[in-house]
């Protein structure tokens, strides 16, 4: 694991996100481009709904930045569905070169980190990246059919129904991606598929620790260190483990703990899903950076790389965390 | 879709591949680093076998190039399993920053193209890329359990049991990746999941046509234009369609038509799978380039981006094709 210091910072020139009913009732609702009370988004299946969300988000991004789809050099994206079909099906309607990525709930920072490297290295002028998740597609794929009415464990997080996109360019007024750090896969033997936070926390610690050691930065230099969706249990673990590593996190915010009002919306363990970190980034973090309320942050989504097959084969849960440093102004570099 | 002309060509400094029983009986057997008559590779499930294959291939690559895993800046890889677990589980035993990619059977050229851009742009010094597939994991995931004994249609291709890796570096004696072209998603409405070649041919045509138009190159400038796994039906379609586009392919070779002796090995429609193009590249194409028998080629793997869920929802099959230009000597640039 190495810290990649982007010689040319990459401008984030537009962002967008779309959410469902529960997100509409949550505290970040005002930051969404579109919110639907119908989680089907007018479609006939949840999978088609997730594709529709991605398309609404992408269209919103394209309109905001006044783009022609033909001017987009590359798109990198992914989701949680088998064979990332929500994303693949969204892009079949666009003439945009597309590379699929899979990092489970780390997808937003994985695609951002990869695209930032492509743009900074000068091989493309711009890139759109994105991620989505849908509560209903995830529940029936990874857990049980919704109609089954299975009881949720106290550590189970609620998958966000949301899609987010970010547009990266060589030139622009920012915020800027300045450093990236691709994580390695960490597996400490956690096997409880209803406790993803605990499985992902060690991967988050591995990436953060390497980042701080190799960049020479310290947590307190950042206005906030955002993680993706560790939730209540994983966030506590992260803080304990980072304290032991000698990098106590006083300014840690988990996207999974802010997208819903956990108590009122009855999600005690918090939220999860690729759409969780993506939507918090686009609905809350980037707007606050653009408004000058946040100067410098770390954004690190985490992913649990399991499948139902590996769970049935009694495998433990390998996880990964990818990190990007984002600064509001070039003066803060 | 644009052609990315890599300002700094990227050296392919090592390659490796591992295959199973049918690959061992095929015409390219001599080019593999390891072949197992036991498709379980000593493991207790086919999924674990696919992970084992990836690890054997990766270990072989690391040994050949005399690498320390810590010196590898990034790994990009993927496979066909849900949540690309064969790949994720392989990398949990390595301290290598890992980014997962999903492009179905286009994975080998998708990861090569992406990593080549990262290395050429100077953000990393090197990258390992790879892809794998396993006949048994693919059959039971995408079609029917093997024990069911379902009859194969005449157009059904045989998924290769194989894993391949390639190591890319900023410096080295080559062969070199000189240009890449990321494909866009194409869906002409094919719905037959047993005829992937027909679904993927239009994506291959889209990428090749754009490549020839925007690079100014012509098919005859290449010793060979390799496609991934169009098979018998898809290859015929590709040639017909490229003729209509004004770029007749006289030197087309489909990896899916050369890895097995189709007649003797009873696979009339040819082979498929991410491992197919990967293994043909590592077992046959790159060795021949290194030996000077091939000077300049195009390598374009194609992927069908369906899932069993989309098939059950009566969706058509979107496809994609990613291309890399490879030259043996820098003088041929």
Q: What is the 3-state secondary structure (H, E, C) of A209-243?
A: HHHHHHHCCCHHHCCEEEECCCHHHHHHHHHHHHH
- Determine the residue among A96, A98, A129 to mutate to test chain B binding: the one whose Cβ has the most chain B Cβ atoms within 10 Å: A98
pLDDT at B21: 97
B99 to chain A: which residues are within 8 Å by CB? 101, 103, 110, 113-114, 182, 322
Q: Per the CB < 8 Å rule, is B185 touching A98?
A: yes
pLDDT at B143: 83
User: Would the pLDDT of A243 be above 90?
Assistant: yes
B104 to chain A: which residues are within 8 Å by CB? 83
B97 to chain A: which residues are within 8 Å by CB? 1-2, 181-184
Considering the domain architecture, whether residues A283 and A245 belong to the same structural domain is answered as yes
pLDDT at A63: 97
Q: Per the CB < 8 Å rule, is A95 touching B122?
A: no
Partner residues linked to A16 by β-bridges: A165
Considering the domain architecture, whether residues B264 and B281 belong to the same structural domain is answered as yes
ipTM above 0.90, yes or no: yes
Characterize the bridge pairing of strands B4-19 and B34-35. Answer: parallel
Across residues A124-145, what is the average pLDDT? 93
Considering the domain architecture, whether residues B135 and B205 belong to the same structural domain is answered as no
Q: Per the CB < 8 Å rule, is A104 touching B83?
A: yes
Residue with tokens 């809350």: A284
Closest residue in B to A80 (Cα–Cα): B83
What the block records as the tokens of A45 is 């299946």
Q: Per the CB < 8 Å rule, is A88 touching B184?
A: no
A114 to chain B: which residues are within 8 Å by CB? 99, 114, 118
Considering the domain architecture, whether residues B126 and B197 belong to the same structural domain is answered as no
pLDDT at A150: 79
B100 to chain A: which residues are within 8 Å by CB? 101-103, 110, 305, 320
Facing A102 at nearest CB: one of B100, B184, B310? B100
Partner residues linked to A325 by β-bridges: A179, A298
Q: Per the CB < 8 Å rule, is B181 touching A94?
A: no
Facing B309 at nearest CB: one of A85, A102, A186? A85
Q: Per the CB < 8 Å rule, is B88 touching A305?
A: yes
Q: Diameter of chain A by CA atoms?
A: 55
pLDDT at B155: 84
Q: What percent of chain B has pLDDT over 70?
A: 99
Domain containing A74: what range? 4-169
Considering the domain architecture, whether residues A160 and A295 belong to the same structural domain is answered as no
User: Would the pLDDT of A210 be above 90?
Assistant: yes
Q: Per the CB < 8 Å rule, is B307 touching A74?
A: no
Q: Per the CB < 8 Å rule, is B85 touching A181?
A: no
* C-beta neighbour count of A197 within 10 angstroms: 29
| Residues B194-234: tens digit of each pLDDT | 888 899 999 999 999 999 999 999 999 999 999 999 999 99
pLDDT at B3: 96
* C-beta neighbour count of B44 within 10 angstroms: 9
User: Would the pLDDT of A146 be above 90?
Assistant: no
Model confidence at B318, pLDDT cuts 50, 70, 90, reads: very high
Nearest to A178 by CA among A321, A328, A296, A325: A325
Facing B103 at nearest CB: one of A99, A183, A320? A99
Q: Per the CB < 8 Å rule, is B99 touching A308?
A: no
Characterize the bridge pairing of strands B224-227 and B296-304. Answer: parallel
What the block records as the tokens of B280 is 């043909």
User: Would the pLDDT of A155 be above 90?
Assistant: no
Q: What is the mean pLDDT of chain B?
A: 95
Model confidence at B153, pLDDT cuts 50, 70, 90, reads: confident
Considering the domain architecture, whether residues B21 and B125 belong to the same structural domain is answered as yes
Å from B208 to nearest chain A CA? 13
Of A169, A201, A222, the residue at which a domain comes to its end is A169
Considering the domain architecture, whether residues B181 and B127 belong to the same structural domain is answered as no
Q: Per the CB < 8 Å rule, is A98 touching B124?
A: no
B306 to chain A: which residues are within 8 Å by CB? 83, 85
pLDDT at A86: 97
Distance CA B179, CA A140 (A): 42
Of B100, B134, B169, the residue at which a domain comes to its end is B169
Total domain count, chain B: 2
Considering the domain architecture, whether residues A14 and A94 belong to the same structural domain is answered as yes
User: Would the pLDDT of B149 be above 90?
Assistant: no
pLDDT at A287: 98
Considering the domain architecture, whether residues B312 and B269 belong to the same structural domain is answered as yes
What the block records as the tokens of A83 is 């064979």
Å from A291 to nearest chain B CA? 30
Q: What is the mean pLDDT of chain A?
A: 95
B2 to chain A: which residues are within 8 Å by CB? 73, 97, 124
Least confident of A75-84, A190-199, B211-220, B246-255: A190-199
Å from A103 to nearest chain B CA? 6
Closest residue in B to A78 (Cα–Cα): B102
Pseudo-torsion of CA A237, A311, B152, B275, nearest 10°? 40
Facing B185 at nearest CB: one of A88, A118, A123? A88
Considering the domain architecture, whether residues B216 and B194 belong to the same structural domain is answered as yes
The CATH number of the domain holding residue A245 is 3.40.47.40
Q: Per the CB < 8 Å rule, is B184 touching A315?
A: no
User: Would the pLDDT of A90 be above 90?
Assistant: yes
Considering the domain architecture, whether residues A183 and A247 belong to the same structural domain is answered as yes
Å from A293 to nearest chain B CA? 30
Q: What is the pTM of this model?
A: 0.97
Q: Per the CB < 8 Å rule, is A48 touching B313?
A: yes
Model confidence at A137, pLDDT cuts 50, 70, 90, reads: very high
Q: What percent of chain B has pLDDT over 90?
A: 90
User: Would the pLDDT of B308 be above 90?
Assistant: yes
Helices (H), chain B: 21-24, 46-64, 85-91, 107-120, 135-142, 196-215, 231-245, 274-280, 286-290, 308-312
Model confidence at A153, pLDDT cuts 50, 70, 90, reads: confident
| Residues B255-302: tens digit of each pLDDT | 999 999 999 999 999 999 999 999 999 999 999 999 999 999 999 999
A124 to chain B: which residues are within 8 Å by CB? 2, 4, 117
Q: Which tops the pLDDT comparison, B195 or A137?
A: A137
Pseudo-torsion of CA A102, A297, B94, B88, nearest 10°? -20
Facing A47 at nearest CB: one of B4, B96, B309? B309
B44 to chain A: which residues are within 8 Å by CB? 313
Angle between helices A196-215 and A231-245 (to 10 degrees): 30
**Which residues contact residue A18 at a Cβ distance below 8 angstroms, ignoring those fewer than 6 apart?**
A32, A33, A34, A35, A36, A53, A56, A57, A60, A162, A163, A164
User: Would the pLDDT of A26 be above 60?
Assistant: yes
Q: Per the CB < 8 Å rule, is A82 touching B45?
A: no
pLDDT at B8: 95
DSSP string of B196-229?
HHHHHHHHHHHHHHHHHHHH---GGGSSEEEESS
User: Would the pLDDT of B1 be above 60?
Assistant: no
Å from B72 to nearest chain A CA? 9
Partner residues linked to A166 by β-bridges: A15, A129
Across residues A7-26, what is the average pLDDT? 98
Q: Per the CB < 8 Å rule, is B123 touching A117?
A: yes
Tabulate helix, strand, coil % of chain B (nearest 5).
40, 25, 35
Q: Per the CB < 8 Å rule, is B89 touching A6?
A: no
Across residues B160-164, what is the average pLDDT? 98
Model confidence at A148, pLDDT cuts 50, 70, 90, reads: confident
Partner residues linked to A130 by β-bridges: A77, A165
3-class SS of residue B95: coil
Å from B122 to nearest chain A CA? 6
Q: How many CB pairs under 8 A join A and B?
A: 185
Model confidence at B35, pLDDT cuts 50, 70, 90, reads: very high
Nearest to A130 by CA among A59, A202, A24: A59
Facing B1 at nearest CB: one of A45, A97, A104? A97
pLDDT at A177: 98
Please report, for chain B, how many H helices and E strands are present, in that order: 10, 13
Considering the domain architecture, whether residues A208 and A136 belong to the same structural domain is answered as no
**Which residues contact residue A178 at a Cβ distance below 8 angstroms, ignoring those fewer than 6 apart?**
A5, A6, A9, A325, A326, A327, A333
- Determine the residue among B92, B94, B129, B190 to mutate to test chain A binding: the one whose Cβ has the most chain A Cβ atoms within 10 Å: B92
Closest residue in A to B86 (Cα–Cα): A310
Characterize the bridge pairing of strands B176-181 and A162-169. Answer: unpaired
Of B169, B196, B212, the residue at which a domain comes to its end is B169
Model confidence at A129, pLDDT cuts 50, 70, 90, reads: very high
Model confidence at A34, pLDDT cuts 50, 70, 90, reads: very high
């Amino acid at each position: 694991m190495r810290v990649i210091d982007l010689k040319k910072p990459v401008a984030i020139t537009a962002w967008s996100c779309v959410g469902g009913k529960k997100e509409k009732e949550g505290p970040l609702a005002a930051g969404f481009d579109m919110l639907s009370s119908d989680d089907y988004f007018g479609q006939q299946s949840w999978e088609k709904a997730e594709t529709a969300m991605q398309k609404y988000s992408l269209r919103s991004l394209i309109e905001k930045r006044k783009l022609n789809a033909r001017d987009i050099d590359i798109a990198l994206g992914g989701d949680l569905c088998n064979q990332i079909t929500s994303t693949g099906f969204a892009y079949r309607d666009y003439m945009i070169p597309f590379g699929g990525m899979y990092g489970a709930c780390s997808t937003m920072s994985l695609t951002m980190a990869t695209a930032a490297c492509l743009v900074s290295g000068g091989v493309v002028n711009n890139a759109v990246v994105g991620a989505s998740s849908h509560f209903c597609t995830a529940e029936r794929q990874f857990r049980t059919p919704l109609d089954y009415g299975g009881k949720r464990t106290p550590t189970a997080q609620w998958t966000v129904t949301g899609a987010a996109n970010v547009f990266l360019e060589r030139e622009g007024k920012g915020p800027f991606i300045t450093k990236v750090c691709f994580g390695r896969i960490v597996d400490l033997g956690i096997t409880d598929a209803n406790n993803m936070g605990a499985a992902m926390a060690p991967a988050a610690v591995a990436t953060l620790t390497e980042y701080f050691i190799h960049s020479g930065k310290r947590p307190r230099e950042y206005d906030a260190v955002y993680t993706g969706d560790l939730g209540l249990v994983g966030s506590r673990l992260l803080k304990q483990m980072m304290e032991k590593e000698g990098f106590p996190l006083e300014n840690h915010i988990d996207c999974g703990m802010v997208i819903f009002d956990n108590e009122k919306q009855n999600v005690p363990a918090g939220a999860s899903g690729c759409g969780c970190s993506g939507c918090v980034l686009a609905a809350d973090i980037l707007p606050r950076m653009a408004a000058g309320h946040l100067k410098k942050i770390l954004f690190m989504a985490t992913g649990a790389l399991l499948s139902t097959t590996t769970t049935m084969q009694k495998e433990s849960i390998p996880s990964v965390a990818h990190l990007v440093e984002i600064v509001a102004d070039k003066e803060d570099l």
